[in-house]
Chains A and B, each alone.
Chain A
């Protein structure tokens, strides 16, 4: 594809999909929405620290207790 072909493709593309008018700005004040979004972050702070390793540890513990029920008193002792 030479430079002339490239320019004709660019022209055709702009004809098919004209640029949007991005100068208008949002139609409403978005700050209240941002505040609401930030509130959702505050509501569940404990879950943010929940990583896959915690889940794997818990699953391992449940598995251990299921296979060796006798280990329950030992676990309770160390808790």
Chain B
């Protein structure tokens, strides 16, 4: 009995030894294999990093510009086709053929996006009463919009987000100046300005080379010929007296140009949001600005249904030129919510000037200002033209139009647009494989606007890479 016990004891001891040995060996082997993998990966990482350096130096044959220069230009201007003098090159083709030949087809993915450490949000808001709700909603929600953008771009905690609000109006008019009071300008990151004709348009003296300061921030007005729509020999920038709706109160085109120029040359992402329910320079036809008699003027403002599309387009084109030159994004906010500030006294005007008018003239289809069927809207026939021009400026600057159907969605719509702007500010080449083994090399490259950008090259190794 005791022999059996001893033999069994021995067997158990041996078994324990073997199991323990197997575990120790397994661990040691695993550790050694990991070490081997680590050594191999370290080598491949260095080798691919060296390959990336070589690729960035490769020269494009017609322009003699380097791969890295073209890469940052293509990202900055967000165009595949870049023109240098008389030569236009397809950068994507150049990058793809170079990478295919050097790394191998299907074995790489390249992504380049700006390193955003500072964002400037600029709201250019029509100063008319119909936009009062939007201005108030924005004032309330601006802090949370800023915090949302900060979270989106967070990397080191040193990111800066600032917001500037430009209200189009007459800064000499107390009522217009007070429109800034609702913004929490005690915060260092929120600033509000009332800008009017003086700020928006160049004066004739500005075009005099001898007296004009070419280094001024307002030099853009001369360069892009930003002048008021009615400037002539008797140069005027204000057509109507203070308190009366003037064209510059709705000139979001000139407002965007101003905001863009005042954010020029800064190494940051600048996003511009013109907010309006009218054509740029207003939906009021030209003829109405030359009527001095107030009742007739109001009648014309509200009931002349012609849309001044060309006047508006000229202003929008200026905005486009300045924003594009500065590499800024424009996301126009269209807020045509039929909440035009209808005043019963308008009917009095109609009765005075139009003998055919009755007290319910606003129900007539001919009246641009009011319509029972559509609610109280200002020149509803201009809606399609406004949207067309807003889409044009958004398309050209890589922004998007926000059609604000419900004012409660203002924060969501703005935040989504900014997210899209940041996300779309990328240039990608090759195919990204989510779960494949890969080696990533990263380089910081400068963009033309001094913003730094991260270029990442993902290389997917072959199974038996190295040999």
Q: Do A and B bind each other?
A: no
